[in-house]
Chains A and B, each alone.
Chain A
Amino acid sequence: MSRRCVLFHFLLATNGLNWGLDFTGGVVVEVGYPSDVDLNKVRSSLEEQGISGAVVQHFGTSRDVSIRFQPKEDASQAELTEKVRLACLKVNDNAQISRSEFVGPAVGEELATSGIVAIVASLVVILLYIAFRFDWRMATGAVISLAYDVIVVLGFFSFLQIEYDLTVLAAVLTVVGYSLNDKIVVFDRIRENARRLHKMPMVDLFNLSITETLSRTIITSGTTLITVLSLLIFGGEMIYGFSLTLFIGIVFGTISSIYVASTWPLLLKISRENLIPMEIKKDIGEDDEATYGLNR
């Protein structure tokens, strides 16, 4: 597991992320033409308007063209989109601009900063909450496995060179929140079993808890995956990155819930006392031991 994490880490480091417009700043224009269009014509038309170094690509069909470029520092924004529009119309009078975006470099930088802040803040809040509800060893396990999930998702984006924009960032955070659900299901069961099965060694206890919750971990992720798959197939190009992030994130979040999250507390030498509060409370599970013993 950790080997895979290292692999994705490596990918991330070498390949880098394909940062979207939201973070880099720049211009994106999407144009729909009534008939097939020659990209070279669009390029030279752009050059005539003084826009150089633009990336011109087809997307979807050969009638749809996306144009993206970094404007020169001194270019006036007001004229940029107008120039692109003129260049597109020159190739064919019936061109329709379906979408255009401009993000200034300062704004992009801020968005990137707030994105990082959001991810770190989420992880810290989760760490504190789990430490409060369970134990710091469990919290460490949860946060490490969540970091693993994030790295894997980013690694995929790096590998496939899919654009990393704001909606993808939102999806990464959602994955963080969602993937934690599975981990808490397992943690809850570990705590419950720790109260009930006094004599079982911690390793076996963890093992048993994971096995007991395995089917629901898989089913809950499965049901969410069904809807995310539907988003991926029908949601369209604008939220493709978003849906893909959720899909990858949920798959690997499930894997990390089963294999990563619970391993760490054991490595950190967690003991039964860490999980059970000192005071003795009336516990609904307490009288179950005999029945459970028989059934196993």
Chain B
Amino acid sequence: MNKYPLWGNLLIVFILCMGALYALPNLYGEDLAIQINGARGIALTQKEITQIDEVVKPVCNTCNVEFENGQALIRFKDNDTRLKVKDTLSKNLGDNFIVALNLAAATPNWLRQIGGRPLKLGLDLRGGLHFLMEIDMAEAIKKIINQDIQEIRTELRQEKIRLSNVHANGETIEVAFRDANTMNQAYDVLSKKFTNKVVTQEEKNNGAFVITLTIKPEALRDLKTSAVEQNINIIRNRVNELGVAEPLVQRQGADRIIVELPGIEDSARAKEILGATATLEFRLVDASADIQSAASGIVASGDEVLTDRDGRPVVVSKRVILTGDHIIDAKSGMDENSRPEVNISLDALGGSIISDFTRDHIGSAMATNFIEYKVVESDDKTANNGKPKFKKVEQIINVATIQSRLGTKFRITGLDSTSEAHNLALLLRAGALIAPIQIVEERNIGPSLGQQNITNGINAMLYGMIALAIFMIIYYRVMGIIANLALLFNFVLLVGLMSMIPGATMTLPGIAGIVLTIGMAVDANVLIYERIREEIRAGRGIQQAIHLGYERAFATIFDSNLTTFFVAFILFMVGTGAVKGFALVLMIGLFSSVFTSVYACRAIVNFLYGGRSVKKLSI
């Protein structure tokens, strides 16, 4: 009686060893390091690694460039060499690399090979910035509706169908025609072209023939999703420009994005870069317009007046040739005659649009309009559901003459200086956020407070465990010592599991969760031991008492842990940030504590007392 089969014992030992193995990386500290990423989130290639290696070697010949997940890492023993190497790298590598100082986990190679890594610490433990950003969906939809209107015009013009009027009415587009025949023709074309919309035609009472295009709900949902995803990509690129180690950019809910920047303290600068909700568009300059009358606001019906950086008016066509979201890359450089230029790459669609347009407009001037959104200060709190309002600020940043028909790659020349070229490239590259964003939550924890939190957490854990261990030994003697062993196993297993799970973050409430699970893990032991005592009092033999104690207490332990698990799960689902971390620890802790208190502990009891006659149980 009271013997586990060999495989059972081996399984328990195996699980505990795995837990210990994966908890091991937490014992190693961190190395000083330099991290090199490709600009705009582009993964580095082997060729670029060799390039980095060539730059590093003359300064530090013992340095080794590690290449992992498309980024390079160099570890250092002392900070002086690190700073020296960083200066050299920043100077020599150029625009395409982002060089940042970082700390890298000093996990030995063999552990890293099997996927071992230390716990990821949350912002409340390591310090840093947390932002929650909200996307202005109304603006995103408006923008897309306007694009659609352009497309409707182009499509109907190609089919030589005359329309009398087209305008947006909220989320629907209304196209008016002179007679029923034209409307029917247009209906065929439009309903074929716009499959993501519900297209209806009707004759209005006032004699107008109107086609209404309404976006389908599922298309609207896709549209919102892609708006969020596009913004996430752009923010990720901007975060990379900040040179942060291990940043987090993640979608939350329908229209929110979480940004976490560990180790960043300068919130003003971070916000400036993240909040720069800029978009770009190319428009044709109307050279025939009279600048004098334009200055006073009088222009032709298809034109409008915008201003350049120096405040001079520029008359441009209202029609947008191309928006900035088609720009893949923009680089500053020198042309054959060593004059500054900016090279622009477009995506395929952008390329074909610009190619079609410029074919007919060689010699005309094209303006680059830079659009920023700034928050409007509004008195009316109820407007727009209390959400922030945005104001559109437009500025012409460049006017260039179209020299030839353009394709997916073209360049802007005739710039005044290299720095102007550099800035223009940066602005073009900043990408286009499809909709303006606004920070709705910000949390900033200083690094010293983070360190203090770690110390507090570890102290609480240590003293709590010691006090608990002493109590268990006094109250249950030898069996108490066994419970304490189970407690230790539980701790190691919990840390191992948390380190193993990708994306799991340890937060201050998470540490509290560990402390709490340790206290709760003992509960299972108490239930079993009390039951064993009771069975012994009832006159049973020691072996049977142990057997029954475990067997009868188990249902109770299972039930009670399961309900706590339910609650932890609900908390995990609704919680965010630190609370989610706590819920995760609690859930994993419940699993590991049942395993260690019931099975691992039983294995020890079986080993000590099982299968032989025991006169007295030290309980």
Footprint of B on A, CB under 8 Å? 30, 73-78, 81-82, 96-107, 111, 114-115, 117-118, 121-122, 125-126, 129-130, 133, 166-167, 169-170, 173-174, 176-178, 180-182, 184-185, 188, 192, 212, 215-216, 219-220, 222-231, 233-236, 238-239, 242-243, 246, 284-285, 288, 291-292, 295
Besides A74-B378, A104-B440, A236-B456, 13 other A-B contacts (C-beta < 8 A): A98-B445, A118-B571, A122-B567, A126-B566, A167-B578, A174-B567, A188-B559, A212-B534, A215-B530, A220-B522, A227-B467, A227-B515, A239-B509
Determine the chain A residues whose CB is within 8 A of the CB of B444 once the complex forms: 81, 97, 99-101
Candidates A107, A125, A167, A226; contact of B509 at CB < 8 Å: A167
Structural contact, A100 and B124, CB atoms closer than 8 A: no
CA distance A284 to B555 in the complex (A): 13
Name the distance in Å between B508's Cβ and chain A's nearest Cβ.
Answer: 6
Answer whether residue B442 sits at the interface, using C-beta atoms and an 8 A cutoff: yes
Task: Report which of B387, B449, B471, B534 forms a contact with A223, defined as CB distance below 8 A.
Answer: B471
Contact status of A239 and B443, CB under 8 A, knowing A166-B579, A174-B567, A220-B523:
no
Q: Are A106 and B560 in contact (CB under 8 A)?
A: no
Q: Tell me how far the C-beta of B95 lies from the nearest C-beta in chain A, rounded to whole angstroms.
A: 28
CB nearest neighbor in B for A218:
B526
Question: Are B567 and A223 closer than 8 Å at their CB atoms?
Answer: no
Residues of B within 8 A of A (CB): 124, 132, 134, 267-268, 271, 275, 375, 377-379, 381, 386-387, 438-446, 448-449, 452-453, 456-457, 459-461, 463-465, 467-468, 471-472, 475, 508-509, 512, 515-516, 518-520, 522-523, 526-527, 530, 534, 537-539, 548, 551-552, 555-556, 559-568, 570-571, 574-576, 578-579, 582-583, 586
Closest 4 CB pairs of A and B: A230-B464, A227-B519, A177-B567, A236-B456
A4 vs B442: C-alpha distance in the bound complex, in angstroms?
40
Q: Which residues of B contact A111 (CB under 8 A)?
A: 576
- Pick the contact of A78 from B439, B516, B559, B579 — CB < 8 Å? B439
* Docked-complex contact A230 and B460, CB < 8 angstroms: yes
Interchain CB contact (< 8 A) of B574 among A101, A117, A238: A117
> Is the pair B538, A291 in contact by a Cβ cutoff of 8 Å?
yes
Query: Could you tell me if A101 and B456 are in contact, using CB atoms closer than 8 angstroms?
Result: no
**B538 engages A292 (CB within 8 Å):** yes
The answer on a CB contact under 8 Å between B452 and A236 is: yes
Instruction: Let me know if B519 and A129 touch, CB within 8 A.
Output: no
How far is the CB of A40 from the nearest CB of chain B, in Å? 25
- The residues of B that contact A242 with a CB separation of less than 8 Å are 509, 512
How far, in angstroms, from A183 to B378 measured CA to CA in the complex?
54
**B475 touching A219, Cβ below 8 Å:** yes
**A interface, over-half SS:** helix
B578 engages A166 (CB within 8 Å): yes
Pairwise interchain contact B453-A238, C-beta atoms closer than 8 A: yes
> Please, how many angstroms separate the alpha-carbon atoms of A121 and B583 in the complex?
15
Chain B: minimal CB distance from A151 (Å): 17
State the CA gap A85–B562 with chains docked (Å): 47
Q: Residues of B contacting A188 with CB < 8 Å?
A: 555-556, 559
Q: Please, which residues of chain A bring their CB within 8 A of the CB of B442?
A: 77, 81, 100-102
Q: Give the residue name and chain of the B residue nearest to A183 (CB).
A: B560
For B464, what are the chain A residues with a Cβ–Cβ distance below 8 Å? 226-231
A231 adjacent to B537 (CB under 8 Å): no
User: Which residues of chain B come closer than 8 Å to A107, judged between CB atoms?
Assistant: 132, 440-441
Question: Would you give 7 A-B contacts (Cβ < 8 Å), ordered by A?
Answer: A77-B375, A102-B441, A104-B439, A178-B564, A188-B559, A216-B530, A238-B124
Provide the bound-state CA to CA distance between A103 and B516, in Å: 29
Residues of B within 8 A of A176 (CB): 567
Q: How far is the CA of A133 from the CA of B518 in the complex (A)?
A: 27
Does A230 lie within 8 Å of B566, measured CB to CB? no
| Contact among B438, B519, B579 with A226 in the assembled complex (CB-CB below 8 Å) | B519
Q: Would B271 and A78 count as touching, CB distance under 8 A?
A: yes
Give the chain B neighbours of A177 by CB distance below 8 A: 563-568
Residues of A within 8 A of B465 (CB): 227
Given A226-B464, A295-B539: A184 and B575 interface contact (C-beta under 8 Å): no
**CB contact under 8 A between A181 and B457, given known A166-B579, A173-B571, A239-B508:** no
Q: What CA separation (Å) do A180 and B560 show in the bound complex? A: 7
List the A side residues contacting B567 at CB < 8 Å. 122, 125-126, 173-174, 176-177
Which of chain A's residues have a CB closer than 8 A to the CB of B446? Answer: 96-99
Known contacts A104-B441, A236-B452: A133-B516 contact under CB 8 Å: no
**B residues less than 8 Å from A192 (CB atoms):** 552
B460 CB contacts on chain A under 8 angstroms: 230-231, 233-235
How many Å lie between the Cα of A181 and that of B523 in the bound state?
Answer: 9
B480 to chain A, nearest CB (A): 11
CA gap between A174 and B572 in the complex, in Å: 12
- Contact indicator B449/A99 (Cβ below 8 Å): yes
**Are B441 and A170 closer than 8 Å at their CB atoms?**
no
Question: Closest residue to A29 on the B side, CB-wise?
Answer: B444
CB-contact partner of B440 in A99, A106, A118, under 8 A: A106
**Which of B453, B468, B523, B574 meets A236, CB within 8 Å?**
B453
Shortest beta-carbon distance from A233 to chain B in Å: 7
Contact residues in B for A102 (Cβ distance below 8 Å): 439, 441-443
Q: Please measure, in the bound complex, the distance between the C-alpha atom of A125 and the C-alpha atom of B556, giving whole angstroms.
A: 18
Give chain B residues whose Cβ lies under 8 Å from the Cβ of A236: 452-453, 456-457, 508
Partner of A100 from B267, B468, B534 at Cβ < 8 Å: B267
A89–B515 Cα distance when bound, in Å, is: 38
> Do residues B522 and A223 form an inter-chain contact, with CB atoms below 8 A?
yes
Please judge, given known A-B contacts A104-B440, A216-B530, whether A174 and B377 are in contact too, CB under 8 Å.
Answer: no
CB distance from B377 to the nearest CB of A (A): 4
Give Cα A229 to B461, complex, Å: 11
Q: How far is the CA of A125 from the CA of B570 in the complex (A)?
A: 9
Choose from A100, A181, A285 the contact partner of B560 (Cβ within 8 Å).
Answer: A181
A246 to B564, CA, bound (A): 14
In the bound assembly, the distance between CA atoms of A78 and B442 in angstroms comes to: 10
CA distance A239 to B555 in the complex (A): 34
Asked if B516 contacts A122 (CB within 8 A), the reply is no
Report the separation of the CA atoms of residues A104 and B131 in the bound assembly, to the nearest whole angstrom. Answer: 11
How far, in Å, is A126 (CB) from chain B's closest CB? 6
Contact residues in B for A99 (Cβ distance below 8 Å): 443-446, 449
Do A170 and B459 have beta carbons less than 8 Å apart?
no
Would B566 and A226 count as touching, CB distance under 8 A? no
Contact yes or no, B445 A224, CB < 8 A? no
Q: Are B267 and A81 in contact, CB atoms less than 8 angstroms apart?
A: yes
In the bound complex, residues from chain B placing their C-beta under 8 Å from that of A78 are 268, 271, 275, 375, 439
Q: In the complex, are the beta carbons of B448 and A96 less than 8 A apart?
A: yes
With a CB–CB cut-off of 8 A, which chain B residues contact A104? 132, 134, 439-441
Least CB distance, A258 to chain B, in whole angstroms: 15
